[in-house]
Structure 1
Amino acid sequence: MNLRALEPEDLEFLFALENDPDIWGVSDTLAPVSRHTLREYLEHASADFYVVRQLRLVITTDIGSPAIGIVDLFDYDPLHQRAGVGIIILASERRHGYARQALELLKEYARSVLRLYQIYATVGADNAASLKLFRAAGFRRVGIRHGWLRTADGWVDAVEWQCLLQASTIIGESA
């Protein structure tokens, strides 16, 4: 398993991924994305995480192998040393444990390189696969936001997950 930076050659992979209506519900997307927009995004994708406050990494099964997914860190908060996590694996590559392995690599990178204290995720209560993934990856379920996510069928609760990456004393932590 490997996480790598985006490359210009990832254009068609990103185009297919971003324009898959089956994942729009988990990525807060409502419309297709053009190749032009993605080309411009790729030109600036190497910008400093600490400046743009987000990072997108490509998931591959091995160095040099084709992309099978994307993992994002977003909403980086420098004061509190935390960022949100999003992950998507191509439908044809799911159920092989790749997402779990990618999250483990991301956690180590976020802890040791980016020096984040914690990462978090928001998952629709109807997304059983992602709920299972974050639990298996060592995230702790910390809350529910009721009726938080709008879907084609109505409103869905959001399950909030948190993963502490650094050991420290937490003031006011309940036993």
Structure 2
Amino acid sequence: MVTLKGKQLFLRALEPEDIDFLYKLENDETIWQVSETQTPYSRYVLKQYLKNSYKDIYEVKQLRLAIVSHTHGLVGLIDLYDFDPKHKRAGVGIVVDTVHHSKGIGTEALELLCEFAFTHLQVHQLFAHITPDNNPSIRLFTRVGFLHTGTRKEWLFQNGTFMDELIFQKIAP
């Protein structure tokens, strides 16, 4: 049985009603550097994305789930991306609305996603790419058992300067 339910939240597929939250998040320039977004998204594009979000992870190589608090509703998104079934690995990305930071939501959502990926998708490893200045993400991924396994020197060009990119990995237990 697959369960994506925790003590304070659950993970679910995206719904058409999520459009306002998705629009707000995808157009928040403060998080563009971590999502590698360069331009705003229109509601039309996001509606098309939602319309196709039912597609299987084996087909589109990614999965985006809504993070839903039992008490506050939709509070964030968590993704598997670059899913590679042959090599049994996937990247992980997570964003939680700033008003819900420091409440354990990111930790619980990431733990649920890891369990799902390892048991249901039979992924061998998960990875995350994080900039050295993103201390909250470094703490989150470390707390959930990801290890810093490498650094790509001057890998990203942001705000007129090159930045390193840290690689974190978690191998299935």
Distance 1:81 1:70 in 2: 22
Deviation at 1:87, TM superposition (A): 0.4
Question: Which of residues 135, 138, 157 in structure 2 aligns to 1:128?
Answer: 135
Name the structure 2 match of 1:4.
Answer: 12
Contact 1:50 1:78 in 2 (8 A): yes
Q: What stretches of structure 1 move > 4 A for 4+ residues in a row?
A: none
**Shift of residue 155 of structure 1?**
1.4
CA RMSD of aligned residues (A): 1.1
Q: Provide the rounded CA distance (Å) in 1 between the counterparts of 2:23 and 2:65.
A: 15
Letter paired with 1:86 = G
The answer for unaligned runs of 5 or more in structure 1 is: 167-175
Task: Specify which of 36, 58, 61 is matched with residue 44 of structure 2.
Answer: 36
1:112 aligns with 2:123: no
Match of 1:170 in 2: none
TM-score by length of 2: 0.92
Gaps of 5+ in 2: 1-8
The correspondence of residues 1-175 of structure 1 with structure 2, limited to 5 A, is 1-62=9-70, 65-166=72-173
CA distance in 2 between counterparts of 1:65 and 1:116 reads 31
Please report how far the alpha carbon of residue 65 of structure 1 lies from its aligned counterpart in structure 2 after TM superposition. Answer: 5.0
TM-score by length of 1: 0.91
Deviation readout 1:20-75 (Å, 9 max, x if unpaired): 0010010000111000000000000010111111000000112x852100000000
> Sequence identity of aligned pairs in percent?
42
